[in-house]
Amino acid sequence: MKFCADLCRTFEHKLEGGRALVGCATALESYVRITRLSGIRLSVRDRQGLMDAALKFLTSREASGIPYKPKRHLMLHLVIQTEKFGNPRIIGTWHDESLNRQLANVCGSAHAAVWQKRVLATFNHSRRPSAMYHW
């Protein structure tokens, strides 16, 4: 993300929606910085900073050419729930998002009669048991 943000800043004047892209990048950098520097429980100030960053990103994304997707609003839900669930760094799924697609593919191809065995065996084999639980 830092690399992309740096490129946006460097070529802002050449990019269509460059100023908005820099705004989006700055907002996302701020979001990540707050989550990385905060502990499990966020202060009110940190929660407000996350909300400000999320809103800045979401309001700048259209002018930057980033398409709206229904899941984008989930970013706000994640921030709103920080008081209850804590830092998104702790509860977020950063490293295993690709596993959702892989699991969906395995589930879709498994026969109903042996579904659970096929899903567990195939998914476990493809991910290596030690890799599944490595954080």
- Range with the poorest average pLDDT among 26-35, 45-54, 69-78, 111-120: 111-120
Hey, what are 68's tokens?
């709206």
For residue 91, how many other CB atoms are within 10 A of its CB?
12
Hey, what are 129's tokens?
């048991």
pLDDT bin (cut points 50, 70, 90) of residue 135 is very low
- In the prediction, which pLDDT does 127 show? 56
- In the prediction, which pLDDT does 91 show? 74
Average pLDDT score, the chain: 81
Mean pLDDT of 75-104: 78
Q: Which DSSP state fits 114?
A: G
- In the prediction, which pLDDT does 64 show? 87
Yes or no: say if 53 and 43 are a contact pair by the CB < 8 Å rule. no
Name the helix (H) or strand (E) containing 81.
none
CA separation for the pair 135, 125 (Å, rounded): 18
At 22-67, the pLDDT tens digits run 999 999 999 999 999 999 999 999 999 999 999 999 999 888 888 8
How much helix, strand and coil, in percent to the nearest 5, is found in the chain?
75, 0, 25
pTM of the full predicted structure?
0.67
pLDDT bin (cut points 50, 70, 90) of residue 95 is low
